[in-house]
Amino acid sequence: MKTKFLLIGTCIILAFFVSCSSDEKTNDGTTKAISNDEIITNSKIDASIEDVTNIADDQFTAQQNINNKPDGTIKNYLPSCATITTVLTNNTWTKTVDFGVEGCTLENGNTVKGKMVISFSNDFSASTQTISYTFEGFYHNGKKLQGSKSIVRTKKATALQSEVHPVLTASIDLTITFDDGGVYSRKGTLIKETIAGYDTWYNWEDNVNVVTGSGTTTFPNGDTFSAEITTPLEFYASCRKPFALKGILSITKNGANAIVDYGNGDCNTLVNVTKDGVTTEIDLKK
């Protein structure tokens, strides 16, 4: 307790010279420290990208297996309120997924509205496929997504899974406008591997996905977050959560660093954030 009083006293004495706030300032006046609110905001953008990637891949898989339906029940990834229009033109499928103006709720609790337009080749025998998609008035949990994204989809063995499995390499270039008017941009590359459940395309609940990669997020004030997945992030569809349940993400901004540890697989939205050697638990829920 005496140490606490001494630190408070020191902060008061030096008030005119330095700030005892955790938001340390750089020479140009920008905030150096990475706040928990910024980490949560960054994670909301991550969740949007995770969902739209899943929607695009789901539509590719559904079309690929349209003549390979199982005897039992098909568990649809998309909610029944989504309307899907499918057109084949010059050997290219175009699928428009319309979630309506009122919106739909996905299985993980996130809400979407507007349209995603997804296209890919009709040649499903090709070893590599490119899935492209754009947005038309599309919102994810109230955030407007704009821009384009392409996914290169192949099947191969990797260091994460020796058995041949689906591997998606996603190029990201998106603008995200939050409901408070703040505009963010995200650029980067993610590699998503489905390491379990890929043989049962009709049951998305048994999927396990592992994600690696890096990217940058520019905030409305000009600050840029550089994020790198240092330990692969693991997603379990059965948990119905929009965030990873395992893995480690390293974030840097203006020379500051934060390590986000997603845990040991527990089905929750809690993460441990370490900054300057101090670890705190925060909740990423929307």
**pLDDT tens-digit series, residues 48-89:** 999 999 999 999 999 999 888 887 788 889 999 999 999 999
Q: Give CA–CA dist 196/193, Å, rounded.
A: 9
Please, which residues bridge with residue 154 across strands? 128, 167
Q: Which are the contacts of 220, defined by CB distance < 8 A and separation ≥ 6?
A: 182, 183, 184
Contacts 24+ apart (CB under 8 A), 101-105: 103/139, 104/78, 104/79, 105/79
Q: Is the pLDDT of residue 18 over 60?
A: no
At residue 9, the pLDDT reads: 41
**pLDDT tens-digit series, residues 157-182:** 999 999 999 999 999 999 999 999 99
At residue 286, the pLDDT reads: 57
Which tokens sit at 170? 């996603």
Among the residue ranges 3-12, 25-34, 195-204, the one predicted with the least confidence is 3-12
At residue 82, the pLDDT reads: 97
- How much is the pTM? 0.87
Listed residue (43, 45, 47, 44) closest to 55, CA to CA: 47
Considering only the C-alpha atoms of the chain, give the largest distance between any 2 of them, rounded to a whole number of Å. Answer: 77
Q: Is the pLDDT of residue 10 over 90?
A: no
Q: Is the pLDDT of residue 5 over 90?
A: no
Helix, coil or strand: residue 281: strand
**Element (DSSP H or E) covering residue 248:** strand 246-253
Backbone dihedral angles phi then psi of residue 35, each to the nearest 5 degrees: -85, 160
Average pLDDT, the chain: 89
Share of the chain above pLDDT 70, in %: 89
212-241: average pLDDT: 96
Q: Give CA–CA dist 117/125, Å, rounded.
A: 23
Q: What are the DSSP E strand ranges found in 1-110?
A: 83-89, 92-98, 104-105
At residue 285, the pLDDT reads: 84
Q: Is the pLDDT of residue 19 over 90?
A: no
At residue 267, the pLDDT reads: 95
**Element (DSSP H or E) covering residue 46:** helix 36-64
**pLDDT tens-digit series, residues 263-276:** 999 999 999 999 99
Q: Is the pLDDT of residue 12 over 50?
A: no
- The answer to whether the CB of 214 falls within 8 A of the CB of 186 is no
Q: Give CA–CA dist 107/120, Å, rounded.
A: 25
Q: Is the pLDDT of residue 11 over 50?
A: no
- The DSSP-derived string for 94-152 is EEEEE-TTT-EE-TTS-EEEEEEEEEEES-TTSSEEEEEEEEEEEEETTEEEEEEEEEE
Listed residue (171, 185, 85, 102) closest to 139, CA to CA: 102
Band (pLDDT 50/70/90 cuts) for residue 29 is low
Q: Is the pLDDT of residue 123 over 90?
A: yes
Band (pLDDT 50/70/90 cuts) for residue 148 is confident
**Element (DSSP H or E) covering residue 36:** helix 36-64
9-36: average pLDDT: 50
Which tokens sit at 153? 């989809």
